[in-house]
Amino acid sequence: MDVAVIGAGPVGLMLAAELRLGGADVVVLERRATPDQRPRANGLAGRIVEQLDHRGLLDRFRAEAGFAGPLPGFPFGPVPLKTPMPGLMVQQPRMEALLTERALELGAEIRRGHELADLGTVRGPDGDYRLAAKYVVGCDGAHSRVRELAGIGFPGTTDDELMRLGHFRADLPMFGSGLERGWNRRPGGRVLVTSLTPGVLIAGVREVAPEPAGEPTLEEFRAAVRRVLGTDLALGEPLWLSRTVSSARLAEHYRAGRVLLAGDAAHVFPAGGSSLNVGLLDAVNLGWKLAAVVRGAGEALLDSYHAERHPVAARTLTHTRVQALLDRLTGEDGDALRTLFGELAAFDEPKRHLATLLRDADELPYVPDLPLTVGGRATRVAEVMRAARPVLFDFAGRADLREAAGPDVKIVTAACPDAPADALFVRPDGVVAYQGDDEKALREALAAPGR
């Protein structure tokens, strides 16, 4: 086996599909015997939506989405940004089902009820067995066993505020007690009331409190609401309940020898809904590189994974810390900060900067969505990228540039009125590794696409 992916959440499943597209054998090991049905995430936004289009998955997600298209606005913590953002409203269980389907189609193996005992041993339903994989990737969440076994540090901070969240079956109208849709501030904390599905109330409560032992209960949830609101809230039948404590942490390294990290195993953010977006983009960056190394590329290509994705998580950690601070600061100081920040965010330049951070904190150059004509047929860049292969777009009929490309590179001779250069060499993850008309520079980019 080439690669063992630990964790069958969205990031692990996306990585498995990317590895298979790159030609690597992959097994996904998941300690849970059945898929997790908790809707811990409700959608995706930003560059990952474009990447799903590049892989031909966007139509599948759209078919399951409550909303698909440009979001008219997006929150930066408690401050709304009125700027469009690509979005998909799909709850996490459906995401996982779609990505499971894709990974299995491509030939990945998924073993549920199999837990990592150590980096060489798996504990399965029928006993322990040897993990015979050249590489192990931890996609196993914030409390990653893989990260722990690899000895990779996970510095950061943990909040003293506890969040309880639940979905409840409730008839509309569902907002009472003078509450507005969204988070409602009170001296003792905040209470959330909203809905993404007719007849289902999403309610949450945040307060500074220790985390109790055991599974969350309805009475515990009601008591927390009473403490913050000073009154009861009509909730309805609970569909699921959870409690979490926010953390802001970033792994010191994304690689230790044959062990790599992605998703929440590599980073956790305190606010903003960025974790899944960033984690899935980790998978897209890592998948083609790890598959290439398995097929014989130099190990240095794997080092570029940390070099490119670690700074993205660091930038995301910075802006989500700010979001969390804006959200939780109380009293007149908090009101003043949110008011001024909202005024600044209404100006075009600050708004564009914040929107760019939320869309993707990555500063790599990505291939633009150019209108192409190939063989007399109109097409799009996304359709050319489906196979997750490196692509050389030749816009000027340069035979010398085409000859510089190796056998693994897909060559597309295209007419494009908006072409930025004679040629674009694009990595499988959509990053432009070369742009121009210099054969020598192209050969250098072909030799080191990950750096």
Here the CATH number for the domain that contains residue 397 is 3.40.30.120
* H/E stretch holding 380: strand 377-380
177 pLDDT band, cuts 50/70/90, is low
Contact 202, 167 (CB under 8 A): yes
pLDDT of residue 179: 86
Spatial CA neighbour of 265 closest among 237, 278, 273, 257: 278
35 pLDDT above the threshold of 60? yes
Mean residue pLDDT of the chain comes to: 92
Q: What is the pLDDT of residues 90-117, one digit of tens each?
A: 989 999 999 999 999 999 999 999 999 9
pLDDT reading at 310 higher than 90: yes
Residue 326 lies in a domain: yes
| One domain, residues 148 and 166 | no
Residue 266: which of 255, 278, 251, 286 has the closest Cα? 251
Are residues 78 and 190 in contact, defined by beta-carbon separation less than 8 angstroms?
no
Answer with the one of 226, 246, 266 that is the final residue of a domain: 246
Residues 132, 271: one domain?
A: yes
Amino acid 164: pLDDT? 94
Type and span of the H or E element at 294? helix 275-294
Read off the pLDDT of residues 194-246 as tens digits, 9 standing for 90 and up. 887 888 889 999 999 888 888 899 999 999 999 999 988 888 899 989 998 88
Query: Is the dihedral angle over the CA atoms 59, 65, 69, 70 positive or is it negative?
Result: negative
- 302 in a structural domain: yes
Please check whether residues 50 and 138 belong to one and the same domain: yes
242 shares a domain with 255: no
CATH of the domain at 258: 3.50.50.60
- Strand partners for 203: 166, 193
Where among 315, 337, 359 does a domain terminate? 359
- Which pLDDT score is estimated for 307? 96
Output the pLDDT for position 175.
55
In a domain, 221, yes or no: yes
Residue 365 placed within a domain: no
Q: Mean of the pLDDT values across residues 431-446?
A: 89
Residue with tokens 């309610």: 203
- Cis bond upstream, residue 173 (ω within 30): yes
For residues 174 and 267, the model is more confident at 267
According to the model, what pLDDT value does residue 398 have?
A: 87
pLDDT tens-digit profile of 402-416?
A: 888 878 899 999 999
Question: Per-residue DSSP letters for 216-252?
Answer: --HHHHHHHHHHHHSS-----EEEEEEEEEEEEEE-S
Q: Residue 365 phi/psi, 5° resolution?
A: -80, 120
Half-sphere exposure of 262 (CA within 13 A, CB side): 33
pLDDT above 60: residue 173: no
Residues 47 and 143 in one domain: yes
Domain end (from 334, 359, 384)? 359
Structure-block tokens of residue 120: 């060489």
Same domain as 423, residue 330: no
| Tokens coding 138 | 């931890």
In-domain check, residue 310 = yes
141 in the same domain as 97: yes
Q: What is the pLDDT of residue 450?
A: 63
Residue 351 resides in a domain:
yes
Is 409 in the same domain as 339? no
In a shared domain, residues 125 and 266: yes
Q: Is there a domain that residue 364 lies in?
A: no
> Can you tell me the distance from the alpha carbon of 181 to that of 23, in angstroms, rounded to the nearest whole number?
47
Instruction: Tokens for 438, please give them.
Output: 């210099």
Helix/strand/coil for 313: helix
pLDDT at 404: 84
Measured CA to CA, the distance from residue 434 to residue 367 in angstroms comes to 10
pLDDT at res. 203:
92
Helical (H) or strand (E) element with 206: strand 200-208
Structure tokens at 145: 């066993």
Is residue 366 included in any domain, yes or no? Answer: no
**Are residues 277 and 411 both part of a single domain?**
no
Q: 355 and 225: one domain?
A: no
**CATH code, domain carrying 205:** 3.30.70.2450
Taking residues 1-11, report their average pLDDT: 97
| Domain coverage including residue 429 | 371-447
Based on the structure, what is the number of domains in the chain? 3
131 and 31, same structural domain?
Answer: yes
